[in-house]
Structure 1
Amino acid sequence: MDGSTLTIVWYMSTIIIGVLFAFMSYKKRNKEVYYIDKKVMYISFIILWQLLAFAKCGTDNKSYKILFDNAKDLQFTLGYHQIELGFGLFNYLFRCITDNYYVYNATLAFIFLLLIYVTLYRLKDQVHFGWGILAVCSMFYLQFMNLKRIYLAAAIIFFAIPYLSKKKWGKYIACVIVASLIHTSAIIMVIPFGIQFVLKNRIKRYQMIVLFGLAFLGIYLFRNQLFSWKVSSRYTAYGVQEAQMGIAQFVYHFPIIWVLKNRSSKTRAELNIEQSCFTLALCSFVLSSMGYFVEMIGRASIYFVFAFAAIPKEVQFNWKNISSRISFGRQANKILMILLWGGYYALRLIVYCRSSLFSDGIMPYINIWGITF
């Protein structure tokens, strides 16, 4: 097999095995209570972590190494490269501990995955742990090898969303501030906070869809005026004046929004998560569509991945309650939903692999020992 084929096999086998162990770790103690076998979960974590930790590939990998090697020169890091204060200080402190870039890279990967695993573990009674890890791996995993900084910030936001759903505003805002100190674009996550704080579930979901639809229409009609400004000299290259709308975002978001609109969870905790997922999915659709005009804004859609990974079990696997006109047996319903959700996440992963593995510089995969897969 050539290098490209070996890389695909390596990526897919790592994801499949890591996800399988995540599914195996999630067990039911009784009808309502779930628990996670920590030993099996640790195996899943290590399998997924090692691919990221030992990677020596990615278009931006050399830039991260330069930043780390010069981390003690804060004027170079924060001034010349205009790196955010939080990430610059993190590099500085880590550089004071060790000058080994590979230890630093492995630590970043560890923190990134730890935030995700801890979040899904905390939500084990509302969210299926295995499906959550599958969703993360399909749209939020391989990309870390190239864009470490923004994905680390996104992992912090992922960790923060349960605070949003529980209306613990102070903790949520604190996490957003920390994430913004890693990557400025994370400040965009004040939007879902503002929506949930102001609306407080006082309007129906179809009304929210109408409001977001109007916002989307306004953005589309006035796109040239809205995106003629420059946010930062570092992001100037991302600005474009004209772009055509694509259907990909409709395909990605419609299933999630449709399911969340037509279902209501049984428990208050699930309902809170469900409402947050609904808000995040709508925000994600609008911002992802804006990415057709300004690439950097489109990248910010990764902050909303929680909506795709943490759909409550009661919503995710009860198709026949969505529409009384559709009747399936219990087992047929379960099999159908497994095929639909599995197919959806597989599609997201396949689309990424076909479109971005080469541009992200992670094809082929090269590890720290110089071995190419």
Structure 2
Amino acid sequence: MLIKKAFNRNAFWLPLITLALFAGIRSSRVGTDSGAYVWDFVSQLDTSYFKFNSDGEFGYQLLVYGLLHLTHNYFWLFFISGLIVVYCYLKTLNKYSINYTLSIFLFITLGSYTFFFNGLRQGLAMAIFTLATPYLLEKKLIPYIFICAIASLFHTSALFMLPFYFITNTNIKLIYKILGSFILSLLSSSLIINYFASTNKRYEGYAQVSESAGGLITLAFFILIAIFLYFIQYYYKIKDQIYTKLFTFYICGVSLIIPIAMLETSASGPQRFLSYFQWTLILLFPFAFKKINTSFATGIFIFLSLFYFLMRTSRFSNLTPYLINPIFDIL
């Protein structure tokens, strides 16, 4: 009961501050890429020597530059980033979720929250992109483009979300949208990945063939979720416009990623793009389980979500053990 009260719509700021602080006080050893993000802070870089890299996203560099003027404690980079990320998601959940508490639970367990613990720049871009949701659903192209452009200042991948405005809102059958996304990716993904790898050193690893599973298990998991949600939509004859558009957006995104996975690229590269679509599940699942309307099914789903969270945090991206920033170590 206490948790429900703490995370209801009237307690927006409590989950915001709690989750942002949890992200902020972590050590730079939590998250595979965290060390690279905090290097300027750890090395005590003088801002007079800070150089804006033309290959880097200006928004993120400006954020780092501004913080370095004030502090060399990387807590503030993680905390401010956490405030931005969590605020953007909660703002969207508060407006569209039919079960706010469950959506926050899924925000954490399905990985949207912990994504920026590792991929900070893209995590910021993804979070900002969620603010484009009203304009995607209400067919307002100009504001949608504007938010995608703002998000791209933190990670250029946000620009790839522009075509999905038209894919989602075009009045054709879903199967044609799915096939179109798959074929478009099949024909162009290799060329696009190699282009970015050749023009920006940070993306060179994206074009390299991975010797591991490359995120195929994760992708298979989200394909199964797409099939499940499609069945729910068909069986319960769901006509709700918000659910339909968000599901279209999600399943077309999954279809787009399949050819990229077939290239056997690193899971830490192009397949991260899946997270731009994955976050919609925190809105779709509450709607689906309201239709199913059985506490048993909801309970099983919550258990599986927790299991997925434990597996993901213990096996990927160096998220465990969770370590505290040394400045908070009172011992």
Aligned partner of 1:287 in structure 2 is 257
Cα deviation for residue 183 of structure 1 reads: 0.8
Which one-letter code corresponds to 1:76 in the other structure?
Answer: K
**Paired AA for residue 365 in structure 1:** L
Moved more, 60-69 or 138-147: 60-69
- Choose the corresponding residue for 2:203, options 235, 246, 258: 235
- Using the TM superposition, give the Cα deviation of residue 367 of structure 1 relative to its aligned residue in structure 2, in angstroms: 2.6
Aligned to 1:348: 308
Q: How far does the alpha carbon of each residue in 1:246-282 deviate from its partner, in whole angstroms, 9 at most, with x for none? A: 454232232234424425546xxx5134313322232
Matched to 1:177, the amino acid is A
Larger deviation, residues 347-356 vs 300-309? 347-356
**Paired position in structure 1 for 2:79:** 106
1:306 aligns with 279
Larger Rg: 1
SS at match of 2:139: coil
Which residue matches 2:323? 365
1:128 pairs, out of 66, 91, 99, with: 99
* Structure 1 residue matching 2:131: 3-state secondary structure: helix
Give 1:39-188 correspondences, 5 Å limit. Answer: 41-57=12-28, 58=30, 59-68=32-41, 69-70=44-45, 72-73=47-48, 76-79=51-54, 82-124=55-97, 127-138=98-109, 139-188=111-160
**CA 1:277 to 1:144, structure 2 compared with 1: closer, same or farther past 3 Å?**
same
- C-alpha contact (below 8 Å) 1:228/1:241 kept by paired residues: no
How far the C-alpha of 1:312 sits from its partner, in A, is: 6.8
Alpha-carbon distance in 2 for matches of 1:64, 1:225: 28
Deviation at 1:174, TM superposition (A): 0.9
Q: Percent identity?
A: 18
Amino acid at match of 1:121: N
AA of the residue aligned to 1:251: F
- Matched letter for residue 323 of structure 2: Y
What does residue 317 of structure 1 align with?
Answer: 290
Whether contact under 8 Å (2:6, 2:14) holds in the other structure is: no
Residue pair 1:281, 1:307 contacting (<8 A) in 2 also: no
Report the TM-score when normalising by structure 2: 0.80
Contact 1:160/1:175 (<8 A) preserved: yes
Tell me, in whole angstroms, the C-alpha distance in 2 between the residues paired with 1:174 and 1:252: 29
Question: What is the CA deviation profile of residues 120-170 of structure 1, one whole-angstrom value per residue up to 9, with x for unaligned ones?
Answer: 11224xx32122112211212233222221111111112222221111221
For structure 1, the residue ranges without an aligned partner over 5 or more in a row are 1-16, 27-35, 320-332
Partners of 2:182 and 2:206 in 1: how far apart? 25
Matches of 2:93 and 2:46 in 1, distance apart?
A: 33
1:197-251 superposed Cα distances (whole Å, 9 cap, x missing partner):
5x1xx223344344445556x45xx987775553522111232347778454232
Aligned pair count reads 316
> 1:279 & 1:143 partners in 2: Cα distance?
20
Flag the 1:213–1:102 CA change in 2: closer, same or farther, 3 A: closer
Tell whether the 8 Å contact from 1:257 to 1:282 is kept in structure 2 after alignment. no
- The answer for unaligned runs of 5 or more in structure 2 is none
Cα pair distance change 1:187/1:210, threshold 3 Å: closer
- Structural RMSD (CA): 3.3
Q: Retained in 1: the 8 A contact 2:67–2:76?
A: no
SS in 2 for 1:203: coil
User: 2: CA distance between counterparts of 1:120 and 1:208?
Assistant: 26
Q: 1:93 to 1:223 in 2, by over 3 A?
A: closer
Using the alignment, how far apart are the partners of 1:183 and 1:225 within structure 2? Answer: 19
- Counting only pairs closer than 5 Å after superposition, residues 186-225 of structure 1 correspond to structure 2 as 186-197=158-169, 199=170, 202-212=171-181, 214=183, 218=186
**Corresponding position of 1:21:** 3
Report how far residue 88 of structure 1 moved: 1.2
Query: What's the offset of the Cα at 1:105?
Result: 2.5
Change (3 A) 1:369 1:133: same
Q: Secondary structure at the match of 1:303?
A: helix
Q: Using the alignment, how far apart are the partners of 2:89 and 2:192 within structure 1?
A: 34
AA aligned to 1:355 is R
CA distance in 2: counterparts of 1:294 and 1:83, whole angstroms: 22
- For 1:335, which of 292, 295, 302 is the aligned residue? 295
CA displacement at 1:23 relative to structure 2:
7.2
Would you say the 8 A contact 1:71–1:77 is kept in 2? no
- The 8 Å contact of residues 22 and 133 in structure 1, kept in 2 or not, is answered as no
